[in-house]
């Protein structure tokens, strides 16, 4: 890689459209595709999504849990999917939401962010709720590899409110503390920093937070969860150009047809591009 993740993501969003599609092979979706909920179904699903979308969307986001449930053979499918997607030209954001301290966090970072790892990814989702400083091994590993992180900040699940909206010692919310730390990590980076935040697109009060972190905002919730591309400028304001909406179910439901998956992703990418002005 010749550029840090933030620069590569900005280029991908500008050329392909700001869209992230999940690779979420949960049991019900496998059945909807006419596949068995087994290793063969998992592999067929993953390969089909990569075949259909890796040459056109900015980011693919495999959800690790749906592969881990099949044990080591499921992780082998994940390894192959990550490698195939990256080879085909898309950025891979591995959705593992890892968060721990010390040597354990360093091991998680090595698993997903070391260039020698079979799970090496362009970016990784992480959880800061053992303290933002606990993420330092992942920050260091990402910088060394030219990769990025997406840190949970304002998630759309209702349970997140009790932690993320609570007040820190500074008087700001915990979420705003996380956003401020990300802004510091991204300071001076051009055209975009490599450390993004996860901010739900279904939240009604996102505009109350300072989203000027000079990094991307991964925004789940567009599509099946109710948010639309047209909502993004209102929700994210001046930060809308840096929003990377994640659409999973509303694209994946069109499988296993490769043509239908492509058509759905292309439509979302164009609608989002028009809405946010990218």
Domain count, the chain: 1
Q: Is residue 61 in some structural domain?
A: yes
pLDDT of residue 142: 98
Q: Is residue 276 in some structural domain?
A: no
Q: Is residue 42 in some structural domain?
A: yes
For residues 269 and 18, give the distance between their C-alpha atoms in angstroms, rounded to a whole number. 6
Phi-psi region for residue 223, left (φ > 0), alpha (ψ -120 to 50) or beta? left
DSSP letter, residue 127: -
For residues 109 and 125, give the distance between their C-alpha atoms in angstroms, rounded to a whole number. 11
Omega before residue 256 within 30° of 0, cis: yes
Max Cα distance, the chain (Å): 53
Asked if residue 206 has pLDDT above 90, the reply is no
Per-residue burial over 221-245, b = 16 or more CB atoms within 10 Å of its CB, e = otherwise = bbbebebebebbbebbeebbbbbbb
* Predicted confidence (pLDDT) per residue in 50-87, tens digit: 999 999 999 999 999 999 999 999 999 999 999 999 99
DSSP letter, residue 227: B
pLDDT of residue 205: 80
Q: Is residue 142 in some structural domain?
A: yes
Residue 214's pLDDT band, with cuts at 50, 70 and 90, is very high
pLDDT of residue 226: 83
Handedness of CA 87, 90, 93, 94 (dihedral sign): negative
Handedness of CA 167, 132, 209, 219 (dihedral sign): negative
Strands, E assignment, the chain: 20-23, 59-62, 91-98, 123-126, 148-154, 195-199, 217-220, 243-247
pLDDT of residue 204: 79
For residues 267 and 254, give the distance between their C-alpha atoms in angstroms, rounded to a whole number. 12
State the catalytic residues.
Answer: 97
How many residues can be counted in the chain? Answer: 278
Q: How many CB atoms lie within 10 A of CB 259?
A: 9
Q: Is residue 278 in some structural domain?
A: no
CATH number for the domain spanning 264: value is: 3.20.20.70
Asked if residue 208 has pLDDT above 80, the reply is no
Asked if residue 187 has pLDDT above 70, the reply is yes
Residue span of the structural domain in which 218 resides? 5-271
Q: Is residue 101 in some structural domain?
A: yes
pLDDT of residue 1: 58
Q: Residue 197: what are its φ and ψ, rounded to 5°?
A: -125, 150
For residues 144 and 113, give the distance between their C-alpha atoms in angstroms, rounded to a whole number. 9
Of the candidates 35, 17, 37, the residue with the CA atom closest to the CA atom of residue 27: 37
Q: Is residue 277 in some structural domain?
A: no
Mean pLDDT over all residues of the chain? 96
């Amino acid at each position: 890689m010749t550029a840090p993740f933030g620069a590569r993501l900005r280029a991908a969003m500008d050329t392909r459209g700001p869209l992230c599609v999940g690779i979420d092979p949960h049991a019900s979706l496998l059945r909807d595709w006419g596949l068995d909920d087994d290793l063969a179904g998992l592999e067929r699903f993953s390969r089909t999504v990569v075949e259909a979308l890796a040459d056109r969307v900015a980011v693919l986001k495999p959800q690790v849990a749906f592969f881990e449930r099949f044990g080591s053979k499921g992780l082998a499918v994940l390894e192959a999917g990550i490698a195939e997607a990256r080879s085909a030209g898309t950025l891979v954001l591995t959705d593992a939401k890892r968060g721990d301290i010390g040597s354990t966090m360093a091991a998680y970072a090595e698993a997903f962010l070391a260039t020698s790892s079979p799970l090496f990814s362009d970016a990784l989702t992480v959880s800061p709720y053992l303290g933002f400083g606990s993420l330092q091994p992942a920050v260091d590993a990402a910088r060394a590899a030219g990769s990025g992180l997406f840190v949970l900040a304002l998630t759309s699940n209702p349970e997140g409110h009790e932690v993320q909206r609570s007040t820190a010692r500074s008087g700001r919310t915990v979420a705003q503390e996380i956003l401020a730390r990300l802004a510091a990590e991204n300071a001076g980076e051009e055209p975009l920093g490599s450390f993004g935040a996860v901010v739900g697109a279904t939240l009604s009060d996102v505009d109350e937070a300072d989203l000027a972190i000079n990094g991307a905002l991964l925004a789940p919730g567009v599509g099946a969860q109710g948010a639309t591309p047209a909502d993004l400028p209102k929700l994210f304001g001046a930060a809308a150009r840096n929003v990377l909406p994640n659409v999973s179910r509303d694209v994946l439901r069109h499988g296993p047809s490769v043509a239908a998956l492509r058509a759905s992703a292309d439509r979302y990418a164009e609608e989002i591009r028009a809405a946010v002005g990218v």
